[in-house]
Structure 1
């Protein structure tokens, strides 16, 4: 899965419900019916209506929505979980998005197309699509994952979404998978301006905005790293002049940076006065301190703290 998201310039209409910009608040997600062994078949039928596709082989859909934690607790023969389907779905999605971009923008160079594809298949964007389908509610997970909020975890939602794409491909072929992806991603590419990619990156947009207001470069620090090495989830704090402006989560460090920068941008206007006050106070203290007591300047690469792992 590519996880270095680049924000696309898309005009969206205001949302007047609990769902905003493709995300569902965790409390809203958890209020809806959740899949379990007793209601799973009914949930599958409901999801088929949601996605506009009826499976001929419903076992593929069951597998796409079965998490390893649930499968490993079942008696033999254990049901198959969705990790291999996620692997296939990742590849199918990249292929379909690549072909579609080439069709939409035949004169663009490889670099531009790669950036647009990177955004489309990023965890940040895929979670928006997964959330719109409330895919977390359809997952079979064990009690441990349930207690730790597994249905709202980015990694679980994105993996299930990619597994769903693979299941459709295996069940109906590439044309059915293409139809699903085009329905899902049509708004993503509706009003893309490939000639102006500078503002497609949340981190770049945030840094430019802060600098234009006389504020320093934001700093990103890992505050927690969860999960096994092959499926790590990083939690990031974004700070400006020592003030925690936002947090973000992602399956890669870059993706978590983007999520934190996006959250910061959404709340930047209401925090701007406070940020300027904190920055001015810090500047005054620094100017008043003897030169030998002033903190050394730190060079930050790509907005990353020096001790942060690559």
Structure 2
């Protein structure tokens, strides 16, 4: 507790009224220690340090929030779907806490507006939104404990966004679907990835996906991972009838 008090010096609403009001609107309750929440939005580029000279930013809170989010969603699914086996529950949890979904949640709450950074906010990648959402969950846990953490996730994630039937049909990785089908059918597959910037100012990557000896799909994106996923999605829809019959 002594260590935490050195890092998180309590602040009152009067010291930072705008931030306090913003947090109340996002959280749905009053925070007790604003300093913890400020850390949840502190980017490493701000180069802030605690009284002992240790770097402080939202990354450790992000780690904590990721664990809390996974635990609370797991508990919800365990209670909500009593017939679900371990594999089913794991897949459903992955859909709820996918990076894409967390980014959408962060955007919905406009969390980036609270980020303190020396980098212009329009230079951040998409994942900043999900990262600070997880960091915020971690801050709630440190400030208020598990019950408030669960309350927030119910309020902001489960109640407005989690529909079991809809999630059952939601695909989070076309690449995984394609690979699983190829392995099941004992078909060889190959992703050929190469840099293909063309006339684009930002570096792009191109992917060619072959199944057997046949080129099935091609795609381009700003990262190898995105290009492979995009090519996999095109391959999935091209082979959808075959995949659904097998």
Range class of TM-score, shorter chain: 0.5 to 0.7
Encode CA deviations 1:179-217: one digit per residue, 9 max, x unaligned. Answer: 1111222244324368x56x534416996xxxxxxxxx9
Q: Residue 291 of structure 1 corresponds to which residue in structure 2?
A: none
Q: 1:73 to 1:88 in 2, by over 3 A?
A: closer
Q: Residue 189 of structure 1 corresponds to which residue in structure 2?
A: 162
Conserved in 1, the CA contact under 8 Å of 2:175 and 2:228? no
Q: Residue 37 of structure 2 corresponds to which residue in structure 1?
A: 61
Cα displacement (A) at 1:127: 0.5
Structure 1 distance, partners of 2:166, 2:52, is 53
SS at match of 1:108: coil
Structure 1 distance, partners of 2:49, 2:144, is 30
Q: 1:111 to 1:242 in 2, by over 3 A?
A: closer
Cα displacement (A) at 1:58: 0.5
Q: 1:133 to 1:238 in 2, by over 3 A?
A: farther
Q: 1:222 to 1:203 in 2, by over 3 A?
A: farther
Encode CA deviations 1:244-276: one digit per residue, 9 max, x unaligned. Answer: 646366xxx768755x479x67xx99xx9xxxx
Cα displacement (A) at 1:178: 0.4
Q: Residue 100 of structure 2 corresponds to which residue in structure 1?
A: 124
Report matched runs for 1:25-40 at 5 Å: none
In structure 2, the gaps of 5 or more residues are 1-15, 179-188, 197-203, 210-214, 239-246
Q: Residue 123 of structure 2 corresponds to which residue in structure 1?
A: 149
Q: Given the alignment of the two structures, is residue 160 of structure 1 paired with residue 126 of structure 2, yes or no? A: no
Q: 1:257 to 1:110 in 2, by over 3 A?
A: farther
In structure 1, the gaps of 5 or more residues are 1-39, 208-216, 225-234, 273-310
Cα displacement (A) at 1:137: 1.6
Conserved in 2, the CA contact under 8 Å of 1:85 and 1:167? yes
Q: Residue 28 of structure 1 corresponds to which residue in structure 2?
A: none
Conserved in 2, the CA contact under 8 Å of 1:218 and 1:238? no
Conserved in 2, the CA contact under 8 Å of 1:57 and 1:171? yes
Report matched runs for 1:36-185 at 5 Å: 42-72=18-48, 80-142=56-118, 145-146=119-120, 149-150=123-124, 153-185=125-157
Structure 2 distance, partners of 1:242, 1:174, is 48
Cα displacement (A) at 1:72: 4.1
Q: Residue 200 of structure 1 corresponds to which residue in structure 2?
A: 171
SS at match of 2:221: strand
SS at match of 2:56: coil
Cα displacement (A) at 1:166: 0.8
Structure 1 distance, partners of 2:120, 2:219, is 29
Q: What root-mean-square deviation, in Å, do the aligned CA atoms of Structure 1 and Structure 2 show?
A: 4.1
Which of the pair has the greater relative contact order for Cα pairs under 8 Å at 6+ separation? 1
Cα displacement (A) at 1:218: 9.9
Q: 1:257 to 1:118 in 2, by over 3 A?
A: farther
Q: 1:218 to 1:78 in 2, by over 3 A?
A: same
Encode CA deviations 1:108-143: one digit per residue, 9 max, x unaligned. Answer: 10000011111222211111111111111210011x
State how many pairs are aligned: 201
